[in-house]
Amino acid sequence: MLNNQKLGDSRSQDYSEKFVNAGGVRTRYLEAGSGKPIILIHGGGAGAESEGNWKNVIPYLAKEYRVIAMDMIGFGKTDKPDLLYSQDLRIKHLVDFVEVMGFDQKVSLIGNSMGGATALGVSVERKDLVDSLVLMGSAGLVTELHDDLKPIVNYDFTRKGMINLIKALTNSSFEIEEKMVNTRFDFATDHETRKSYAATMQWIRDQGGLYYDDDYIRQLKIPTLVVQGKDDKVVPISTAYKFLELITNSWGYFIPHCGHWAMIEHPTDFSKATMSFLSQHK
């Protein structure tokens, strides 16, 4: 670990920024609280990173858990090597991260969108590492690459494009703050991040989406909470129902007036539902 910088704001519990070498990838993460470890994994939209996605959730969850929010490979302040940005790469990176952290117990994984698909893959591939899972607006099932996805998949690296991307990811009444636009735009237009994002989106286009076979998902046996915004334009609500059908040991929680970012649009509601689920499945 290379540094331990206090972040956050005066309204919430502070969290620390740290770095660790995960399988040769210098990986940034935020940490707060103590107890059973839970790992938060952001989605794959341009400019995504741990703080912007999870800053309003970390203080709530940290009241009872050791909360760790990581930047995935190719995003935020984590390394962006010149590699094929496949789903297998993200699964390997998350496994390497969990292993190098040296937890003395299994972890809970909480993932949004691409982060959900990555958490799901690790939960299937490495049953020895994970004992519960929260999928929020998760990728992982076949969905049509429809028009609402275009601002994300075809992001043009302009500030206007970033505003359109945020609109695509949130409900119609969500108030977009200048700080969010500026922060995400700065991360998205970093030279190395721009290259890794383009490679990530190209891989998704080549595959026709980010999904697993149904039989692969059926292998998931651990307790799983499926959280879905009822107004999610990116991942349709039918996807959440399909996850519930495929995952035997699963529960569903649906949030009205919520798009793809429950943790940003309704952080308290999402946190309370997650805490209730985790408390029952320790």
3-state helix, strand, coil in the chain (%, to 5): 40, 20, 40
Active-site choice (108, 132, 232, 271): 232
Instruction: Quote the distance between the C-alpha of residue 269 and its chain's center.
Output: 17
Domain boundaries, the chain: 5-280
Decide if 184 contacts 50 (C-beta within 8 A).
Answer: no
Q: Does the annotation count 86 as an active-site position?
A: no
Q: Does the annotation count 279 as an active-site position?
A: no
The pair of three-digit structure tokens given for residue 40, joined into one six-digit string? 């938060």
Full pLDDT tens readout for the chain, 282 residues: 333 433 444 344 489 999 999 999 999 999 999 999 999 999 999 999 999 999 999 999 999 999 999 999 999 999 999 999 999 999 999 999 999 999 999 999 999 999 999 999 999 999 999 999 999 999 999 776 667 777 887 889 999 999 999 999 999 999 999 999 999 999 999 999 999 999 998 998 888 888 999 999 999 999 999 999 999 988 989 999 999 999 999 999 999 999 999 999 999 999 999 999 999 987
- φ, ψ of residue 276 to 5 degrees: the values are -60, -45
Active-site choice (93, 260, 266, 271): 260
Give the residue from 57, 66, 221, 52 showing the smallest Cα distance to 133.
221
Q: Does the annotation count 213 as an active-site position?
A: no
Q: Which residues contact 48 (CB under 8 A, 6 or more apart)?
A: 42, 72, 75, 76, 184, 187
DSSP assignment, residue 158?
Answer: S
| pLDDT tens, residue by residue, 11-60 | 444 899 999 999 999 999 999 999 999 999 999 999 999 999 999 999 99
Q: Tell me the fold of 5-280.
A: Rossmann fold (3.40.50)
Q: How many CB atoms lie within 10 A of CB 249?
A: 12
Q: What is the predicted pLDDT for the residue at 272?
A: 97
pTM of the model: 0.93
Distance CA 41, CA 22 (A): 15
Provide the angle, in degrees to the nearest 10, between the axes of the packed helices 178-189 and 191-207.
80
Q: What is the predicted pLDDT for the residue at 11?
A: 40
Active-site choice (50, 79, 96, 113): 113
Q: What is the predicted pLDDT for the residue at 1?
A: 32
